Amino acid sequence: MLRHFSWYSLVLMVCTVTAQETVLPTDFRQHNLTQFNASLLNPAFGLDWNKPSSVSIWSRWQWQTLDGDPTTIFANYTQQINTNSAAGVGFLQHNTGTYLNTGLNLNYVHGLELDGNIRLLFGLNVFGFREELADDRFTPDPDIDLPELENTDDFILMFSPGLQLQIDKFGLGLAVENAVDVNFSDSGRGRGDGGTVVFGTLSYDFPVMLFGGTDDNFVRPILYVKSIPDGDTQFGLNSLFSTSWFWVQAGYNNFYGASGGLGITLARHFSVGGLMEFGGDEMLSDDNSTLELVVSYHWGASDARKKVVDFDVEKDDALARARMQAEAEKLRKEEQAKREAELLENERIKLEADRLEEESRLREAEAVALAQQQKKDSLEAANAIAEARRLAEHQQKKDSLDSANAFAEAQRRAEQQRLDSIAKVQAQKVEVRPNEKYEEVKSAGGLEPGFYLIANVFGTKKYYENFMAQLQKRGLQPKSFYREVNKYRYVYLNRYDTMDEARKARDSKFFGRYTDKTWIFRVRGN
């Protein structure tokens, strides 16, 4: 007894502390990534925003607390395959404060050159990670069945596609985080990242004439919207000023608040930088600021497309002139042949016109006779159609009346069956067996009279919703009702017309489908 009391005290303390902490969204919190490792933000960004080829490490310490602060670490190697494709492999560790996901990431992006300066990039992130509780200092008591004490140790495979439409310097992106996930563990209870996250971006690169005006100097404002399951939609703005020597970044997120960061690039290949984020939401007002650090080594290849284009233009000038001369000679000969063909065609047309005129006279006489016959046939067909329509309307009215009568009879039989069932319930007398949990009321929440097999009773919405989700995962279809008299919500597995049927379902553990304890609740009816 003392042991159980200690566990219940511990559970109460954990729940109280949890209720006082800020609940983090379940996404990767990657909204500030715009200079390196941006493929975690959108897999389509791996071809240019990752600065391939490169090795980069990014880490985020949420609120910088001393004990169990939520963190994200992403180490990634990106290799450019050619001008239109790149691939990457990375290590990801993501701590939400409740769960710890550790695993690998594979990234691939391919670009399609469309009309003019339009380019469409397709990308895919594949995550394979192990999910476990982030804090396992306490071992749950197996006698206590609470969702907060459930432990997971699952391996999950997650697919996250994305695309980016580039029109010159303008970019429109869309990414779906955790579009599909597969749990390979026996338990099948892995939570993944909590659901599907949809992330949309608008960006534009403004070239900056600084330090020689190279292509590396630009200002990139990014407007984004992120839809998160069971959370408020996030929106924000990031602005990145990047050069070949340094970069400066500032942004705002409606949940995480304002952010600012900077970094430097040494010897044109090695970069290091940091960013601070200050909570702006009322829920984060008492939390410390968030810290992000990034380190990258990049050796991006030169743009092979430009060299090929310049070479082709230079080489094809002479060929183009030769083709133009040959084309002009070909057009001259075609024009001469065309004039000769027109003379022959005019003569042929004159002879053909005489022949057609004679044939026209014969066809005109035939047309008069055909028109008279068609008029007669049309009149007969109209009469036949009118008669068929009259018969069809008569049959349709008859069928409609028969259908209405059949429907009314079916409704009458169903209502009679319902009344018979209620009368059967009300007429029963129940003799409660020893140690049998049973409750009987006259009415409850508008429920139909009957015997209900109760699985659980809840006074808290959170535990009720979690319990309903667990039953649904088992393949059950639970229902519930709310009693105003005691402010509790009852979850039941099924309704029965007789006490014997309800007892049979209870004693057979719901016919082997639900092994926990159940009891019977009767609504007697007026």
pLDDT of residue 101: 85
pLDDT of residue 522: 95
Confidence of residue 513 (pLDDT cuts 50, 70, 90): very high
Strands (E) in 83-143, as ranges, are 85-95, 99-113, 118-133
Helices then strands (H, E): number in the chain? 5, 21
Higher pLDDT, 155 or 45: 45
**Count of CB atoms situated within 10 Å of the CB of 189:** 15
314: its two tokens: 């230079």
Higher pLDDT, 20 or 82: 82
The answer to whether residue 341 scores a pLDDT higher than 70 is yes
pLDDT of residue 117: 86
pTM: 0.53
Pick the CATH number of 438-523 from 1.10.3470, 3.30.70, 1.10.8, 2.60.40: 3.30.70
Percent over 70 (pLDDT), the chain: 81
Digit-coded pLDDT (tens) for 65-106: 645 568 899 999 999 999 899 999 999 998 876 778 899 999
Confidence of residue 306 (pLDDT cuts 50, 70, 90): very low
Three-state DSSP state, 442: coil
The answer to whether residue 152 scores a pLDDT higher than 60 is no
Digit-coded pLDDT (tens) for 465-477: 999 999 999 999 9
DSSP string, 134-176: S--SSPPPTT---GGG---EEEEEEEEEEEEEEETTEEEEEEE
**d(C-alpha 105, C-alpha 35), whole Å:** 19
265: its two tokens: 């690039």
Q: What are the domain boundaries of the chain?
A: 38-298, 438-523
The answer to whether residue 278 scores a pLDDT higher than 80 is yes
Q: What DSSP character marks residue 211?
A: T
**d(C-alpha 392, C-alpha 505), whole Å:** 54
Digit-coded pLDDT (tens) for 161-220: 999 999 999 999 999 988 898 888 766 554 554 678 999 999 999 998 876 555 678 999
pLDDT of residue 35: 81
38-298 belongs to CATH 2.40.160.40: yes
The answer to whether residue 266 scores a pLDDT higher than 50 is yes
Which helix or strand (DSSP H or E) is residue 10 part of?
helix 2-20
**Count of CB atoms situated within 10 Å of the CB of 115:** 5
Q: For all residues of the chain together, what is the average pLDDT? A: 82
